[in-house]
Structure 1
Amino acid sequence: MAQQVIRARELRRDSSKAERICWELLRAHRMDGIKFRRQHPIGPCFADFACVSRKLVIEIDGDHHADQIETDARRTADMERKGWLLIRFAASEVVANREGIWASMQLVLDGERNPLS
């Protein structure tokens, strides 16, 4: 467990520009008072951002993710088997369109709050 804490701290310290932007949107309960965690361990993986109460994971995919499509698909499937909803945003999209990312996250959270809508 101590290794996970150390690794999570390293990932937070070395976050990308897109991850820092996304964290600025999510931190301090800015999404309707919902708490998110950065680099939250889920099994052997670390979610970029996780809302434990909603079992929602937000992943920010940088350019290197184009080379690891199968790995990402396995991670997504593993988290979904554990009951998590996972959404992904391209890092370039986060940097270029933070308002659009905010709106997309809000739509997902609204859908989670009321799945019948």
Structure 2
Amino acid sequence: MTSEQRLFARQLRANQTDVEGRLWQALRGRRLQGLKFRRQVPLLAYTVDFVCLEKRLVIELDGKQHDWHREYDEERTAAIEASGFAVLRFTNEQLKGDLDPVLQEILRAAFLHD
């Protein structure tokens, strides 16, 4: 991890979106079944939105800009999965509604291999 990656991640944490903040409130401090999540973490050559290192689970939130960068997102997901992480993607719209289905999907993925 380079110092540029760390600085970029720090900037993203300081300027989180409303939906990132909403999900972070549900995940931080081991609030979701004791799972330790970190946000805006450099991983490989990328900065992922949320990661649970213990479960090797990455959570990515997709806003409107992801419609324009779909191919890049697919390549990024493939690279992260090739390194042994599972990747869950949620749209901003999913997070603006009822958060419970999103949290249930995260739990299902986290404990899938236990």
Corresponding letter in the other structure for 1:2 = S
What stretches of structure 1 of length at least 5 have no aligned partner?
A: none
1:4 aligns with 2:5: yes
Give 2:100's aligned residue.
Answer: 99
Give 1:82's aligned residue.
Answer: 83
- Between the aligned partners of 2:79 and 2:22, the Cα distance in structure 1 is 26
Alignment of 1:1-117 (within 5 A): 1-113=2-114
- Between the aligned partners of 1:72 and 1:11, the Cα distance in structure 2 is 18
Deviation for aligned residue 1:108: 1.6
Deviation for aligned residue 1:101: 1.1
Q: Deviations over 1:95-117 (max 9, x none)?
A: 1121221122122223132xxxx
The Cα RMSD (Å) is 1.0
Q: TM-score, normalised by structure 2?
A: 0.93
- Between the aligned partners of 1:51 and 1:110, the Cα distance in structure 2 is 12
Corresponding letter in the other structure for 2:13 = R
Q: TM-score, normalised by structure 1?
A: 0.91
Q: For 1:111, what is the secondary structure of its paired residue?
A: coil
Give the number of equivalent residue pairs: 113
What stretches of structure 2 of length at least 5 have no aligned partner?
A: none
Deviation for aligned residue 1:84: 0.7
Deviation for aligned residue 1:36: 0.6
